Amino acid sequence: MTGSYPKAEVLPGPERRRSWSTAEKLSIVQETYEADVTVSLVAHRHGVAPNQLFRWRKLASQGALVATRAQEEVVAASEYRALQAQIRELHRLLGKKTLETEILKVETTVGVERRGRRGPKKSAVALAVVAQGRFAVSAVCTVLDVARSNIAERMAGRSHRRLG
């Protein structure tokens, strides 16, 4: 029984762990898929813990070892999902800003009668933009900073009267 254990490998220097190259890991993983060979046997042959070899197999099946061999960065799945969510949010914001820009372009071309020295009232401009039918009332009111209820009343034909 004394000859059945492999000799212990002594690592020179202060290292406590052995580092394996990606090519070595892939070749060891490939050995586990050969006929009449168990993971424990291959792990024992190479001086690796079986659970480490199972981890390498999992990484190889997910493509992580191949990506490492190709000098690509491997990103955790949670980080990938977070980045995808951030991209979706940026697309949403870009769409919102594009809509605002389009509304403001239309606002500059709408011919609303001037009132006083400062130009037309915002509510009159908003009503004119909404009347064109290209944009939602809520979007126009948000961009032009006008109360939606005010525009809704004017669209319904009720005049806006101030009390007090």
Q: What is the mean pLDDT of the chain?
A: 80
Spatial CA neighbour of 99 closest among 131, 127, 141, 128:
141
Q: What is the pLDDT of residue 134?
A: 87
Strand, coil or helix: 139: helix
Q: What is the pLDDT of residues 102-149, one digit of tens each?
A: 988 888 877 665 555 566 778 888 888 888 888 899 899 988 888 888
Domain count, the chain: 2
Question: Residue 140 belongs to what domain range?
Answer: 92-155
Question: Does residue 84 sit within a domain?
Answer: no
Successive 10-residue mean pLDDT values, the chain, 164 residues: 59 69 87 90 91 88 67 74 95 94 84 60 86 88 88 76 52
In a domain, 48, yes or no: yes
Instruction: Tell me how far apart the alpha carbons of residues 144 and 146 are, in angstroms, rounded to a whole number.
Output: 6
Give Cα 84 to chain centroid, integer Å. 2
Instruction: Please state the pTM of the whole predicted model.
Output: 0.46
Beta-carbon contacts of residue 74 (< 8 Å; ≥ 6 apart): 64, 67, 68
